[in-house]
Amino acid sequence: MSSRTCLNCGGTAIDVDQARGDAVCMGCGSVLEDNIIVSEVEFADRGGSARAMGQFVAGDSGGKNPNFGDAYHTGRESRAQTLSNAKNNINTLGRQLQMNQHCLDTAYNFYKMALNKRLTYGRRSAHVVAACLYLVCRTEGTPHMLLDLSDILQVNVYVLGKTFLVLARELCINAPAIGTGPQLTITVTS
């Protein structure tokens, strides 16, 4: 029940149902309010941590999403965070392979291209990072194999290979076959 009064009959017995989002006069049955939006924040326990449920909408917000803190990102903030994480992961994995800064920067540029073409969606970040690094290995002719990345990440080499092939095809990057460099000929004399 509520402290409101009905405009039709003047009754004060008003039933406000938050689940349905309406207010109904109990005296005459008139619907006084429909689709009520409340500015309450409800919290739920998820795995030992409290999380906000729903979305807070303030009357003076003008349709903008409020910022709940550093863990809540929208638009450009989220993209910047994604790129920052990718750069850190590329640098970490590339340093384990002892790759130079030029290769790491090129891999980061490949990642940005993949992100712009929405090729990162539905794929694990580590797989995309590894595929970008392997693209650099193939285009720059470094002595690394996909198996090296697979061993470091503890990921099936075929999964990484599939991600690599999708990125190479969709980004239109010609990744030369391994071993296209100068051939070594050994002559055995008896």
- Confidence check: pLDDT of 190 > 60: no
Q: Where in the chain is the domain with CATH 1.10.472.10?
A: 76-170
Average pLDDT, stretch 114-121? 92
| Structure confidence at residue 151 as a pLDDT band (50, 70, 90) | very high
For residues 39 and 24, the answer to whether their CB atoms sit within 8 Å is: no
The winner for highest mean pLDDT among 12-16, 28-32, 65-69, 165-169 is 165-169
| Structure confidence at residue 177 as a pLDDT band (50, 70, 90) | confident
Residues 87-122, buried b or exposed e (16+ Cβ, 10 A)? bebbbebbeebebeeebbebbbebbebbbeeebbee
Q: Which CATH superfamily is domain 76-170 in?
A: Cyclin-like (1.10.472.10)
Tell me what the pLDDT averaged over the chain comes to: 78
In 14-170, beta strands by DSSP E: 14-17, 22-25, 31-34, 42-46, 49-53
Instruction: Return the higher-pLDDT residue of 131 and 2.
Output: 131
- Confidence check: pLDDT of 66 > 60: no
Q: Where in the chain is the domain with CATH 2.20.25?
A: 1-41+51-58
Q: Right CATH number for 1-41+51-58 from 3.30.70, 1.10.3470, 2.20.25, 2.30.29?
A: 2.20.25
Measured between alpha carbons, how far is 90 from 129 in angstroms, rounded to an integer?
Answer: 6
For residues 121 and 168, the answer to whether their CB atoms sit within 8 Å is: no
pLDDT for 10? 84
Instruction: Return the higher-pLDDT residue of 126 and 187.
Output: 126
Instruction: Return the higher-pLDDT residue of 3 and 95.
Output: 95
pLDDT for 52? 64
Average pLDDT, stretch 78-88? 91
Name the one residue in this structure whose structure tokens are 């790491």: 104
